[in-house]
Amino acid sequence: MRNDDLPARTPHSAFRTPHSRAALVDALAGEHRLRRQALAEQREAERWMARATFAEERGLLELASSARTRAARHARMASLLSQRAEEMRAEVQRLRDALAATQGAGRAPPPGPSLEGRFAALELEAELDRIRLANRGDAAPPQPSEPQKEMEVS
């Protein structure tokens, strides 16, 4: 596998919307793919080391040297792919943090009491105030205000 066969690093500009779920899914898939490729390269390195050992046992030193060279190349590639997978892991974590920070953003606030319910509560409170004042022995309970008169007429 040559360097130009490697998957290109994902530039940060590819994640213009870091809060999007799609960017997170893409980053996770990229990390998984890199780890799978690194594992395949590691297996190839082990395979070529076994071939090198086999060639040495039979006295084929030139063939063993070539096999070790290929094993080293596969091991370097596995290391490089693992390093890129770790970079992708950091990117995945950054995207997860950004997504978690925006959970709930853009949603409507939870519904509060309805307008009618708030008016009813105000009317009850005003009525309780009138009753309390009447119980204290005040001469006359206060008259309802203009908005309350309008509500009573309606």
pLDDT per residue over 46-73, tens digit each?
999 999 999 999 999 999 999 999 999 9
**Average pLDDT estimate for 5-24:** 57
In this prediction, residue 112 carries a pLDDT of 74
pLDDT at res. 139? 53
User: What's the whole-model pTM score?
Assistant: 0.53
Tell me the per-residue pLDDT of 77-88, one tens digit each, with 9 for 90 and over.
Answer: 999 999 999 999
Q: Domain-by-domain residue ranges, the chain?
A: 3-101, 116-153
Question: CA 122, 125, 115 angle in degrees (round to 5)?
Answer: 15
The count of C-alpha atoms lying within 13 angstroms of the C-alpha of 24, restricted to the half-sphere facing its C-beta, is: 12
